[in-house]
Structures are given as structure tokens and as C-alpha cells.
Structure 1
Amino acid sequence: MHQNVTTATGHAPELRSAPAYRTVLTHDADELARNLTDWEQCYDQMTAGAFHGALAELRLPRMQVFREEISQSVRQTCRVWPGALWFGFPAQAGAIRINGRPLDGDCVMVRPGGGEFELLTPSSHVIYGMVVCRDVLAQAALRSACGVDWERMQAAEVLRVDGEARMACMEALAAALAVSGAHGGMLPAGSEQQLLAALLGVLDCSGVEPAAAHSFQRRQKVVARVRDYILAHRDQPLTVPDLCAIAHVSRRTLQYCFEDVLGMSPTLYLRRVRLNGVRRQLLDPAARRQPIGAVAAAWGFGSFSQFSSDYRKLFGASPSATRM
């Protein structure tokens, strides 16, 4: 995964004495992933068409607020800095998955720092994010007498929350981004405490969703086993029977696992992951001298003409245009 970090120690980022605000506009999903400060991320574009992404980010002392907008469906592998908690507020309910679990209704996603998690976001998607150092949030909760089960929070993926509190928190995040953007990154005094209060308003009336059913966890493991094999053997021209043998399941079971966890067939997933791998390598300055055909072959594409056609359909541009 790409690292965009201020420290290589594996600890929380250094404290910042003043807010910092910036925006990013890009036509490449993976470039958007690289631009979220202090995260390790990798984005794969999953739906066909030109990509447009926008990021607005506000960095505060021991807190980060951002708004991300994307035009195409993206598979995101993410890790936030250790010692923090990430909370994700999708602007539209439904169609997003965290570690394969679909969201519905009044929910907020949560994951602790230092651990990898995966999102599958739909096309035309907007999400607000808030990352807070865990000790800062715990101290704020103690001061406001907010009862939070931190042990369950650390293990949670989805929180069921009050709809009005969720909307109020999203509005607070949007307002902070708008004000800081209009005033050179500056915020009025007390803004950080107001953001913490808005988040605690969500957490105070939340419930941790139960862990996924054992049957779903088994399907997650099948998908993970196949995914890891695909990435470790990227030059092999894999077929569905090959993937079935790797996962020790029938063709029907493999299809069902992928449809249930990722919402797509294993064949489509394989093709999309490999096309994104080629694009990532074509954009890498270190691979500038490699012929496009050699890069495609290294990702398991035997027919250059079929690869080129599939690439243009997914990204809206030819492989050669990617390098221009």
C-alpha cells in the first residue's frame, strides 16, 4: 500500500500547533489514495469510465477531518495511524461495504489505527471521515460523562447510531472544512472541542453491530484466500477452475462468496485487480522504460489486444495515454 506519512516510526503523527487545510483534485484513484495524510492506502477502480476524485482535508492537533468524493466504484485497502480511531460517515446510505459487510440505514463505520481494513465504495460516492487519537477521545468522553465501551469499539466495524446525531456530526464536519477552506486553514477557537462533542453525541447513543455471522466469515476467508493468491501470482493466467482449486470450493460456491462479499464475480474481480496493477505500474516513474506489453504480461495478460481493449473500457483511455 502507499504510505503518505509524516513519520516512519509506526507511532502517531507529531502534534501540529495549527490547523492545516488542503484540497486535491485528481483523475486517478490511486493518486487520491496517496494524498490522504498519515494513511497507508491502495485504491483499485472497479467500474468503467473516467475517474474524478476530490479530497478536502483538515489536519488539527491529534485530529483529522476530511471529505472524499469519487466518481467510480473503488476497492480501498486502508490503514490509519496507530493509536487513533477512524469514523466514516457515508453521505448516501447503502451500497458501501466495509470488510465485505454492507451498510444500511443510520450507521457509522469505525476502525482502530494500525490495522488494515477494506472498503468497497459505489460510484458517485461522498464520505466524511474523522480520525481522532484514542486518548484524546477518551479524555473528552470522560469530561462529558459519555459512556463508551472502548473494548467493543476497538473490535467494531459498524455502529448503529441515532439518525439526527449522525446528521449533526456530518454537518459539523462539513462546516469545519468549509470555514477552514475559506480562512486559509484557520478555525475559530474551540472548534476542535465542538467537533469532539459532535462525535461524542453520535457515540453516546450508538450500539455496536454484532460480528458477522460465521457463514459470512467463512465466505470472507474464501475471498481473502483467492485475493492473496491473485496478488502473489500476478503473472499467472488464472482461470475460475484455478481459483476454485486454490480456495477448495466448487465453482458455484466461489461465485456465491464473491457476489456476497464483493458484489461481483471472481472473473470480474480478477480482471479489475490486474488492470489496476498495470495502471499503477505504468504510472510508476521507475517502470517508465518498460514496454507496455511487458508490463501487461507481468500481470497475467496473454493477449495484448484484449488487454488494451479491456484497459480502455475500464479507465476511458489507452495504456499509452496513461504514460503521457
Structure 2
Amino acid sequence: MLAYSVKLISRMDPLKYLFEKPALTGKLARWLLMLAEFDIKYITRKSVKGKAVAEFLADHPVEGPEDIEFEFPYENVMTATNDVWMLYFDGAANQKGFGIGVLLVSPEGSHIPLAFKLNFEVTNNQSKYEACIVGMEAALEIGVERLEVVGDSNLVVSQANGEWKVKEDKLKLYHQDLEDLIPRFQTVTFTHVPRLKNRFADALATLASMVEIPAGVKLRPITIEQRDKPVFEYVMIVNEPNDGLPWYHDIWNFIEKGEYPVGTEKKDQIALRRLASQYIICGGKLYRRSHCGTHKLCVHGTEATMIMEEIHEGVCGPHMNGIMLAKKILRQGYYWSTMETECV
């Protein structure tokens, strides 16, 4: 090899590092000295592929004129609609039990969560396969034709795409069942995502694995609601009597006199004490404490309506939306319990 120039074609970054790094120490320096007597040029495999294609096209030019057709060969692609469903799956195998979670998302954005507790032992990879297959079967039952399967299991996704071989005997039956389901769809794609982007299915699987369901007991569907305020504020708003008094009447009486409303239960009294700790009376007016140092003046009735109108459409009013209007009123130093709802 000493009499020839050598082109080294490789995808390995360590070789590129060895030939391109200007200063080397230790074993790398000794290796480079041993290779220095050879005329070696490092070339990446990707660039060689591109060069081969270019050389092939240059060696085989097309002779004579050609008829160029501008017709689109697949006209049905132009009329394709975005009717692809999303399937998120995950499985859980821990000391508490085994469970799987599935989330189907329609093209319109509707979410269909499914969770199953497995009453038999499975490995972590088997639980992932169980979740994927159960989710695909559920999609077939509701008539889904185009499906994108998303999961955080690199093993299941890679084996479904044919990138990895199935070596474990326990997974071969699952993989065969998965391959039997794929032709029943018009199109199916498998995508691997990080675990953070698959938290909903992960939560369903964990919940199913840890919950204990007694025999013969039927569970109603679980509803997850969103709340924007602490529970004690909801209690005060719901139980607020329509007697013409301001919304902060009970808070004022408790701070000034230490009195509770007549007929209140113990839990309501605890909620009132916690709520009153956020307010102070100064100069004959009630203020809500603020972390920024500027306390908010508590207003009600026509005064609150006038503040909303002035800030929204008064002099130099920006006509902002409800949420931004409520935030600006807070910055101006005013507060009432239903301000965000009324601003919207």
C-alpha cells in the first residue's frame, strides 16, 4: 500500500476525528504516527454515494429530444383529505400490577382515552405490545382507515417498522399479531417520541396498573375537570347569598369582628379563615394582598362595571379581550372575586 494513494471510506466518526484533529496525545498520537507513512485520505460514505450518482448520470446522458408530460400521475393524491387518526399507547409493569393505556385522537381533535388492567403477568415490552395492539383493534372497531401510531417504546416502533429483528420468543407472537392488523388499515405509520410527549397514555397505563378493582364492581367513566381557582374561593362564590351586600361582606366581618356567617359549617369556617388571611383592612377599605407589594382595592357593583368600561373602551382604551382586561385591571390595583368571568 506504500506505493499507492488510499481513499478511506467510512461512516465512523472516530476515524475522522483521528485524521482531522491537529493535536493528539497518548494512544491516538501513536496510531496516527503508524498511519502517517501511508497516503490516506478520509472520505465519508454519504459523499461517495452522491458522487457515484453524479458520475453515473454523466456517463449515461440522454440522447435526443424527449416529450415532457406535465400531467400529474396520481390525481387522487391532490384530493386527499387529512383524515388521519392518532394513536398514543403505553404500558406499565410494576410491583403493583400491570396495565395499558391508549389515547385515540380524531382529525377533529376529539380525545378517546382507554385504560385496561391486565390480570396476568407480562414484561414491560409485552405490556407495550399489548397497548399497541389493543389500540389498533379499538381503531378498527370505530372504522378508522388511516392511522398514525405514536409511542415512546423504541423497541415496538422499530420492530413494527422492520428496522429491528424480533429475537425474544415471548414477543414473536405479539409481533405476528401486529403484522396481521397492519394490512386491515389503508395506511399505518409508526413513530417514536420521547416519554414526555406521551404522558397521557403513560398516566393511563400507570393508573390501570395500580388500581385495585374488586370482582363484580362496575366503575363509571372518570371525568377530569379543570379549575382556575382554589377550592375555598369556589365555596365562597357558590354559597354567596344574593342579599345586596358586597361579595366581601363575610371577609370584612371576620377580619374586623372575628365573626362567622350564621349557620355556617365547620369546613366553611375553615375556608373563610384561609380566605381572609389574603385580605387586610386599611383606611376603612378592604385590600387583597399582593406578592408584588401593591395591594389591590376590593370593589363591587357599579364601581366594578365602571372600571371595566373605562379600561376597555374609555379614554385610550385598547379594546382588549377579557383575559387581558382582567390582568390590566389587576395591574391598575383593583380586584373582585368574579372579575375574570365578568371581563370575558
Q: Which has the higher strand share?
A: 1
For normalisation by structure 1, the TM-score amounts to: 0.21
For normalisation by structure 2, the TM-score amounts to: 0.21
Highest relative contact order (Cα 8 Å, sep 6+), 1 or 2?
1
